[in-house]
Chains A and B, each alone.
Chain A
Amino acid sequence: MRGSRTLISLLAAVAVVVAFSPRAFSQRGGSGAPATPLDVTRLNILESGFKLSKDQKKAVKTILDDAHKSAAPMREALTKTHAAIAAAIQSSRSQQDIDAAVNEYAQQAAAMAALEMKSLAQVLQTLEPEQRGNQAAVRSAFFLMRGVFLDNKRWDDVPDSRSY
């Protein structure tokens, strides 16, 4: 009896700690939560760099959510065409076949790059002139967009090593 009470107390303590941890406070892609070193997301980086207002943050999130959805066919094609290059090499196909696979992939890469840059332009257009004048934040956003839509589920994850 005493043991089970101790266990319940322990579980309750763990629940409280988890519930009030910075990670739990932060809302991936949400709003209102301060960014912490443990919760670096693309949106938080943009918010911090440009000092986005609540409304601006919401607008940026909407832009990138929509772009992420529209990127789905490109994302799939990028994966498929990149794998086709490896398959061509593995099966000792002709150089002509490998070049064709490379060109297919390059077309998808260009389409994705165009989408990323258009989305960045949309994001920048939501800003005030003084925010856009922050060159360090612009630079940060510029590089932050590379590969932003590669993940199937979310664009907001911590920038990782995936690229194309």
Chain B
Amino acid sequence: MFRASGLIALAPLALVSTLFALAAPQNAPLSSGMGSDDTGAPRIGIQTRTPYEQFADRLKLDTKTQVPAVELILSDAAREAAPAGQQMLLLRQRLVNLALENKPDEMKPVVHAYTEAAAKMAGVEARAFAKVYATLRPNQQPAAPQAFAIMAGMFQPPAPRGPGGRGGRGGGQQ
């Protein structure tokens, strides 16, 4: 449904990988290891529709008249959401490391910071949804809540390709 070029523009994977590696604490017991080579373990080869396709399908968007506008809205939102998404990844890494170090008290401020980052991310989703909603025809509007449910996490940084890489989710991994 969406053009590949538009989706490529959404992909912040390289940036996320770089930031993730740079921000990993030196003394952390574990790092995500993003950017390291694959082990050759079996990959997930299951084809699923991307969230963008699901979103467009759910709303029955007109390919010619509505999809380009919605694509632009989502592309802009993905760019806007990228810093929050990167922050959320880093905070998740800190959470797991603190849990490994058995420091529950130190986890609280990290969870608080995650809440703020998640609010920024959800705010981007909400604004994008509002813009899309404004373009819908009356007969498309009843499906909007389900479409918004599909948007949950749509702009999260994608998992890297490889085993466990969720695939099909996040900004432009599709």
A interface, CB within 8 angstroms of B: 35, 37, 40, 42, 45-46, 48-49, 79, 82-83, 85-87, 89-90, 98-99, 101-103, 105-107, 109-111, 113-114, 116-118, 120-122, 124-125, 132, 134-144, 146-147, 158-164
Interface residues on B, range: 35 or more
A-side contacts of B160, CB under 8 Å? 139, 143
Determine whether the beta carbon of A136 is less than 8 Å from that of B149. no
Q: Is the CB of B122 within 8 A of A102?
A: yes
Q: State whether the Cβ of B6 lies closer than 8 Å to any Cβ in chain A.
A: no
Asked if residues B96 and A121 are in contact (CB atoms below 8 Å), the reply is: yes
For the complex, give the distance between the alpha carbons of A116 and B93 in Å. 11
CA–CA, A105 and B130, complex, Å: 17
- Output the least CB separation between A10 and chain B (Å): 30
How many Å lie between the Cα of A86 and that of B156 in the bound state?
19
18 pairs from A and B in contact (CB 8 Å cutoff) = A40-B46, A45-B164, A49-B163, A89-B133, A90-B133, A90-B141, A90-B144, A102-B119, A103-B115, A110-B115, A110-B118, A117-B99, A140-B163, A143-B160, A147-B153, A160-B48, A162-B152, A163-B51
Bound CA span A146–B44, Å = 16
Minimum CB distance partner of B168 in chain A: A161
Q: Check B145 against A90 for contact (C-beta < 8 Å).
A: yes
Contact of B111 among A82, A111, A136 (CB under 8 A): A111
The interface residues of chain A, by DSSP majority, are classed as helix
- In chain B, positions 15-42 with a C-beta closer than 8 Å to chain A are 30-34, 36-39, 41-42
**Bound state CA distance, A155 and B166, in angstroms?**
13
Identify which of B114, B116, B165 gathers the most chain A CB atoms within 10 Å of its CB: B114
CB–CB A136/B166 < 8 A: no
B166→A113 contact, CB < 8 A: no
Chain B contacts for A49, CB-based, 8 A? 39, 41, 163-164
Interface residues of B in 158-174 (CB under 8 A from A): 159-160, 162-170
Query: Given A136-B36, A139-B32, is A103 in contact with B166 using a C-beta cutoff of 8 Å?
Result: no
Nearest residue in A to B46 (C-beta to C-beta)? Answer: A158
B100 touches A109 (CB 8 A): no
| B32 x A138 contact (CB < 8 A) | yes
